[in-house]
Amino acid sequence: MPQKMSIKIGVERCMHCGHKWIDYSGARDFCYMCGRKNISETLSLSDIRNAINSLRNEDRKYLDKYTKRAAVLKQRYKETADLYLNRAKEIYAKIQPIYYQGNVSDRVIEQLIFCFRLFSEVGLNKSAASCAYMIATGYFQRGIEKDIQAIEDLGDLIAARQWFLRLDAKEWEAATNLHIGEKSMATISTDPVLLQTMMQIALWHFYKARNYYFEKKANQLVERIQFDIEQTTKLLASYTRGLSEIEAAKIAAAGNEAQGTEIKKGLEILSNAVGYGLESFGEHIEKFGGSLSRSLQGMAGLLSASISQSAYTVGASVGKPSKAIRESYVDMSRMINACVQALPEDVVKSINELGSKVVKGSANKNVLRKVINNEPFKNLAESVVPETDRAIQNLDKLEQPSANFSESLLDTMIEEGMDSVLTQVDRKELNPVS
């Protein structure tokens, strides 16, 4: 997943003119309305929800004690959710037709990811799932259209695999594994090290795909993948042998060329150093006596401790992403898992089965476009705007006790319980106990 996906999303406000917008944290350096740079901190729905939960945990009767604060948080949540929904609807309505025309550029994918995160935070998991499938198939399309000349060129297919994996789309994941293996096997390069690495990548993904289709008893596909595994193994052995021969030749050539000169220089340096060293050593012994031995021992101990400390320092500071980024990636995975669980089983199954149409040897741009225009896939995509409109209407009716809300929106907003308790508080104030 791109690192930008790990950055916080929320509402920011210009402290000068009051203009509000939704974006990644720190993405804007100034207000686009007035040009001032005095911008508030990013406030997300999660921040407000956490504040409500912490207030609830302070006291079981927290609304009796903090009625005004709870009402403020409730109103802030409603305003923020409204901004989220309208912004997501606006972006999605523009991006969807462009996507179905075959445009899967970085800009389109980034906007779909943005919509996915907005829908997920509000609790519209069905809409979030539609965005997630579009993102995954978008990465897939970009990957199968690309010629591989470096490991980085596999990035789109790897990203597609990660999304399908979290969406639990087994057929799509297996098809992606096949294409990663196929693309890696056909790498265009003259670098033996790169070719050796790509063959290893191809073998790993071929094995994953073969195991899946073996369990599905797709014998024809298993045989075809087994043939690719055998050919890739031969190529890997060839590249490994060639790389070994090249390295051996380089070492031999370098050794023969420098051997005479280096030996001569080495002997001269050694002779001079030994003579100078013996002379200096004698002088130091005469001057310092037995302290030389203690000095050498102390220096050896100090050097050993310094090396150990350096190793611990490097080990602690290298190779670990920040805690915030790690937690954000975990949150993204939870969002993807939650959105697919909100879909009916028959919809998930029908979309998953479409992955069998893009397996090895049959996938190209036209085939993939036909697949994403298939009824279950397209119906899910076209349901996003109507569902968002209903959610916005529910927000407008939030103060009405008899209003019916969608289950996913209620789960996120924690509003029903707050309304009922606030009503009880009002009744107590109107009818005090004598």
Amino acid identity at 397: K
Lookup: tokens for 348: 């998930």
Residue 70 near residue 422, CB atoms below 8 Å = yes
pLDDT for 61 equals 53
Here the tokens at position 201 are 């990548």
What was the pLDDT predicted at 236? 87
pLDDT for the residue 248: 66
Within 13 Å of residue 156, how many CA atoms lie on the same side as its CB?
22
**Residue 71, token pair as written in the block:** 């009402």
DSSP assigned state of 153: G
Q: What is the pLDDT of residue 298?
A: 46
Do residues 77 and 49 touch, judged by C-beta distance below 8 A? yes
**How many CA atoms, within 13 angstroms, populate the side-chain half-sphere of residue 354?**
20
Q: Which amino acid is at 369?
A: R
Burial of residue 187 (CB within 10 Å: 0-12, 13-18, 19+) is buried
Q: Does domain 1-43 have CATH number 2.20.28?
A: yes
Residues of the chain with CATH 2.20.28: 1-43
Give pLDDT, residue 393.
84
Q: What is the pLDDT of residue 128?
A: 92
Would you state the pLDDT for residue 18? 83
The pLDDT value given to residue 256: 58
Position 357, amino acid: K
Of the candidates 210, 132, 204, 202, the one whose C-alpha atom is nearest the C-alpha of residue 165 is 132
Question: Distance between CA 395 and CA 391 in Å, rounded?
Answer: 6
341 vs 122, 147, 182, 386, CA distance in Å?
Answer: 16, 35, 32, 20
Residues in the chain: 434
**CA separation for the pair 60, 73 (Å, rounded):** 17
- pLDDT at residue number 353: 86
Q: Looking at residue 50, what is its pLDDT?
A: 80
Compute, in degrees rounded to 10, the torsion defined by CA atoms 210, 215, 219, 222. 0
Q: Per-10-residue mean pLDDT for the chain, 434 residues long?
A: 60 86 84 86 82 68 59 81 91 93 91 92 90 93 89 91 92 92 89 88 92 90 91 88 70 60 60 54 48 46 39 37 50 83 87 82 67 84 90 69 44 44 44 43
